[in-house]
């Protein structure tokens, strides 16, 4: 686990800085780092606005993918919006922001699930540049 932190409105700036530092440490730079930071920040902001005022953000790396999981204890996403996620907007107040849309544009994968007992999990995947100094794995060489 690269990062695991509870957050609320007062700690969003600190979380954003930590996410940026983690992304940079994993090889992201320039615009990809900005996109990753913006996507994760927007989802964390959604957790504060719609998910009970706080959440948890976790980052980890698997291969050349940086994963982010934002979870909250809010009411979950209303059933009538499930078909809209993450790229379309209904135009009403609940779904008028662009956080999920941005995440869908900037990330290679966005998965939204309701948590048992209430709340929402939003998982983002962001491709990382291949590390030039890392040893090749058998599958990279056509073996295994």
3-class SS string, the chain: CCEEEEEEHHHHHHHHHHHHHHHHHCCCCHHHHHHHHHHHHHHHHHHHHHCCCEEEEEEEEECCEEEEEEEECCCCCCHHHHHHCCCCCCCCCCCCCCHHHHHHHHCCEEEEEECCCCCEEEEEEEECCCCCCCCCCHHHHCCC
pLDDT at 137 over 90: no
Q: Is residue 125 over pLDDT 90?
A: yes
Percent of the chain with pLDDT over 90: 64
- For the chain, domains (ranges, CATH) are 3-130 (3.30.565.10)
Residue 77 has pLDDT above 50, yes or no: yes
Rounded to the nearest integer, the mean pLDDT of the chain is: 84
Per residue in 105-120, pLDDT (tens digit) is: 999 999 999 998 889 9
User: What's the whole-number mean pLDDT along residues 72-76?
Assistant: 91
């Amino acid at each position: 686990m690269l990062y695991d932190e509870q957050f609320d409105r007062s700690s969003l700036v600190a979380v954003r800085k930590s996410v940026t530092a983690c992304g940079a440490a994993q090889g992201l730079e320039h615009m990809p780092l900005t996109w990753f930071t913006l996507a994760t920040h927007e989802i964390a902001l959604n957790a504060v606005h719609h998910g009970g005022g706080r959440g948890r953000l976790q980052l980890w790396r698997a291969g050349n993918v940086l994963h982010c999981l934002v979870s909250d204890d809010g009411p979950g996403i209303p059933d009538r919006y499930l078909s809209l996620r993450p790229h379309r907007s209904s135009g009403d107040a609940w779904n008028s922001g662009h956080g999920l849309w941005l995440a869908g544009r900037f990330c290679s994968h966005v998965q939204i699930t309701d948590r048992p007992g209430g709340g929402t999990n939003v998982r983002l995947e962001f491709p990382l540049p291949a590390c030039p100094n890392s040893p090749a794995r058998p599958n990279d060489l056509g073996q295994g």
